[in-house]
Amino acid sequence: MMSITSNSPPLLTMTMAGAILPQLIIAFGITLALLLVAWKRSQRTIAVFSSLILFTALIANVSLLAMPTTQVTQLLKADGYSRFAFSLILISALVALRMSHSFLKAHIEVHDEYYLLLLLLVLGAGVLVTSDHFASLFLGFELLSLSLVGLVGYHRESHYSVESAFKYLVLSATASSFMLLGIAFIYSVTGDMSFNATTASAIYHQQGLGMFFQLGLLLFVSGIAFKLSIAPFHFWTPDVYQGAPTPITMLMATISKVAMFVVLLKCIIAQRYWLHDSFQLFLMSFAVISMLLGNVMALKQQHLKRLLAYSSIAHMGYLLIVIIVSSAQSLAFTWQSALFYLAAYTLANLSIFIVIALIQQQNTRAAFQEDILLADLQGLFWRVPSYGLLMLLGLLSLAGIPLTMGFIGKFYILSQATIAHAWWLIATLIVASGISLAYYLPMIFKIFADAPSDALSDTHQMNGKVKALGGHIIEQVLVYSFIAFGLVFGILPEVINQLIAS
């Protein structure tokens, strides 16, 4: 009889566990949060606990940036790129958690499950960025999607929120179906669900199977494109962005986009040797339509969050160029371009949504309509200079104006496209960026225009109490910190580049 020896390596060594320590901290925190909620319901307690978990995970993640690439299991691989992306995710979650405090206090009676869903969302995003297998990818995708559905619909008294959650649920389920069907096609051809396990012989040495592989990859990308709001899979975005509570819109605009784009880039890079020209044409058409449609539709919007929804469609089109023109010789530059632009996009969106949330705290109409009008920005700089400056930096970065991170990010994308001689994509990006100025610049002019007589003043009477429009000290620290980040990283982009390269 054969004996079972104990010479086989452990399933998860200390090195492997250390490589995914931030994700383990989040998972452990979720378990403790469940026990905490079962023991005693307290918004302050669960909010502080969630903040500590996210901050601890962020510190651990930053300390691991220089750690070598580690294949944790067949399902997960942690490298510097995934850790940098997860840092963006954790920062976004911390900001959204803080900005959720006033919203929950004003509109929601039961807060505890909100923080649990937020932690689950971050865990799902963490699984996505470290995925090296379609099984772990789909697990992270569903964890992120279902958490977002719960968060979008958490304000049950608002029909805007409930309607947005229903739309997101139905279309998210459709995207999951496309993705699963695509994975099934890929597996039927390759016999393996690992990103890097595909072999040329498995595809091309069997008659007719190459078509199934390309079809599977197209279906898979279509599912990812839904989360990224890439045209023509963008139809849910304006309504959900506008109807969801602002802190949740902030999460969709940052965490969801970062996680899904990183995993899409990893998949396409792994399969780049076997992509047909027809598949590249599909990606090019998605990019061109997204860049033009997103910016053109944003021109006629009067609601700020709806405008940002269409803007996000255009920005995902810009990022698709990085994938389309990537090659084996420029993988490091591909990752640098993608992650730098994601960092610029994330920082700009966080800056803008912080201001939106702070304005909504003082504007009763906006709080109930789940959005603010562009007219609400009138004279913002003169009413509250810090808010106006932060909004200005965010808009300038999204527009790609020099001395901002957005400009450097677009420069990297254009440089990579120039090396690949992708002249049509370059021309489209330049034209689309020009169109975007037609709605970014009027918003900037509004910020510096004279404030209307009925505008919010520095102190606003609300619910019988006089509250400073400046908000709490934590929110003020947040505002000035992001102003500093926007100024420093725009002038010194090497700081971000060094973090990515580490």
In this structure, the chain runs to a length of 502
Question: What per-residue confidence (pLDDT) applies to 398?
Answer: 95
Q: pLDDT tier at 198 (50, 70, 90 boundaries)?
A: low
Q: pLDDT tier at 2 (50, 70, 90 boundaries)?
A: very low
**What rounded mean pLDDT belongs to the chain?**
85
Q: pLDDT tier at 26 (50, 70, 90 boundaries)?
A: very high
Q: Are 21 and 67 in contact (CB under 8 A)?
A: no
Mean pLDDT of 234-254: 92
User: Which carries the bigger pLDDT value, residue 132 or residue 365?
Assistant: 132
Whether pLDDT at 456 is above 50: no
Most confident of the following: 79-93, 159-173, 446-460: 79-93
- Give the DSSP H/E element, type plus range, for residue 467: strand 465-468
Whether pLDDT at 8 is above 60: no
Q: Are 343 and 379 in contact (CB under 8 A)?
A: no
Whether pLDDT at 87 is above 80: yes
Q: How far apart are CA 125 and CA 418, in angstroms?
A: 32
Question: What per-residue confidence (pLDDT) applies to 274?
Answer: 60
Among the ranges given (151-165, 234-248, 310-324, 467-481), the one the predictor scored with the smallest mean pLDDT: 467-481
Q: pLDDT tier at 197 (50, 70, 90 boundaries)?
A: low
Q: How far apart are CA 164 and CA 183, in angstroms?
A: 28
Whether pLDDT at 10 is above 60: no
Q: Are 440 and 399 in contact (CB under 8 A)?
A: yes
pTM of the predicted model as reported, rounded to 2 decimal places: 0.91
Q: How far apart are CA 83 and CA 67, in angstroms?
A: 9
Residue 449 dihedral angles phi and psi, to the nearest 5°: -75, 170
Q: pLDDT tier at 273 (50, 70, 90 boundaries)?
A: low
Q: pLDDT tier at 297 (50, 70, 90 boundaries)?
A: very high
Whether pLDDT at 379 is above 80: yes
b or e along 306-341 (b: 16 or more beta carbons within 10 Å of the residue's beta carbon)?
A: bbbbbbbbbbbbbbbbbbbbbeeeeeebbbbbbbbb
Tell me the Ramachandran region of residue 462: left when phi exceeds 0, alpha when psi lies from -120 to 50, beta otherwise: beta
Which tokens belong to 265?
Answer: 């880039």
Q: How far apart are CA 178 and CA 231, in angstroms?
A: 16
Q: How far apart are CA 211 and CA 185, in angstroms?
A: 10
Q: What percent of the chain has pLDDT over 70?
A: 86
Most confident of the following: 195-204, 444-453, 484-493: 484-493
* pLDDT tens profile 176-187: 999 999 999 888
Q: How far apart are CA 232 and CA 222, in angstroms?
A: 9
Mean pLDDT of 440-448: 93
Question: What per-residue confidence (pLDDT) applies to 330?
Answer: 78
Question: What per-residue confidence (pLDDT) applies to 158?
Answer: 78
Q: How far apart are CA 461 and CA 362, in angstroms?
A: 9
Whether pLDDT at 446 is above 70: yes
* pLDDT tens profile 345-357: 999 999 999 999 9
Question: What per-residue confidence (pLDDT) applies to 359?
Answer: 86
Place of tokens 């106006």: 388
Residue 485 dihedral angles phi and psi, to the nearest 5°: -60, -45
Q: How far apart are CA 137 and CA 77, in angstroms?
A: 12
Question: What per-residue confidence (pLDDT) applies to 454?
Answer: 57
Question: What per-residue confidence (pLDDT) applies to 461?
Answer: 40
